[in-house]
Amino acid sequence: MTDPIDRKGLRKRFWEKTPMSKLTPKEWEALCDGCGKCCMNKLEDEDSGEVALTRVACRLFDDSTCHCAQYPIRHQFIPECITLSADNIEENLYWMPETCAYKLLWNGEPLYNWHPLISCDPNSVHAAGVSMQDRTVPEFEIDEDDWEDHLIEEPLG
Ligand code: SF4
Ligand code: SF4
């Protein structure tokens, strides 16, 4: 599968040399490992604030490519989809997946070896069992009251 994210012509190991707030837009996008976990609906426990991941995917999520089917124009359809940036990442950390490259870097941790920026292979995230590829159900098929029947442990590989 070709990489849905453009990772060509990037500075070598740019994420280790440059603060997140100083990355170029292309470098920022290339940080995404393509796991698709942030595109799953989540359930938040009102009392504890704990967030649980479901396999119920956003209606724009393409389960086979494990990527947003309309990424550049997604806000026309899903205005609430968050555009993550160095300015808002802190307030979003509570729901972000543990293996998310943005969260790892923000917390000063290294990327995993299966990250396409390390492996140079966009499929390594799927081969490692960390992604949502072929694991989801579309949100338009599941009543919101039933999402709790589709809770999953975060696939950590
Ligand atoms: S969880 Fe993070 S690394 Fe995975 S697809 Fe979402 S933004 Fe990319
Ligand atoms: S609109 Fe696209 S990027 Fe946003 S949650 Fe849905 S599938 Fe993911």
Q: Considering only CA atoms, which residue is closest to atom 7 of ligand 1?
A: 32
Average predicted confidence (pLDDT) for the chain: 95
pLDDT digits (tens, 9 = 90+) for 17-59: 999 999 999 999 999 999 999 999 999 998 998 999 999 999 9
Alpha helices in the chain (DSSP H): 14-17, 25-30, 89-92, 101-106, 116-119, 124-127
Whole-number pLDDT of residue 3: 87
- Asked whether 36 lines ligand 1 (CB < 6 A), one says yes
Ligand 1 centroid distance, CA of 83 (Å): 12
- Asked whether 32 lines ligand 1 (CB < 6 A), one says yes
pLDDT digits (tens, 9 = 90+) for 69-90: 999 999 999 999 999 999 999 9
Whole-number pLDDT of residue 1: 75
Q: Given the CA of residue 66, which atom of ligand 1 is nearest to it?
A: 5
Q: Is the pLDDT of residue 155 over 80?
A: no
CA 81, chain centre distance (Å): 12
How far apart are alpha carbons 157 and 43 in whole angstroms?
22
The count of other CB atoms within 10 Å of the CB of residue 114 is: 21
Could you tell me the pTM of the whole model?
A: 0.96
Are 151 and 54 in contact by the 8 Å Cβ rule? The answer is yes
- Asked whether 35 lines ligand 2 (CB < 6 A), one says no
Q: Give the CA count within 13 Å in the CB-facing half-sphere of 45.
A: 8
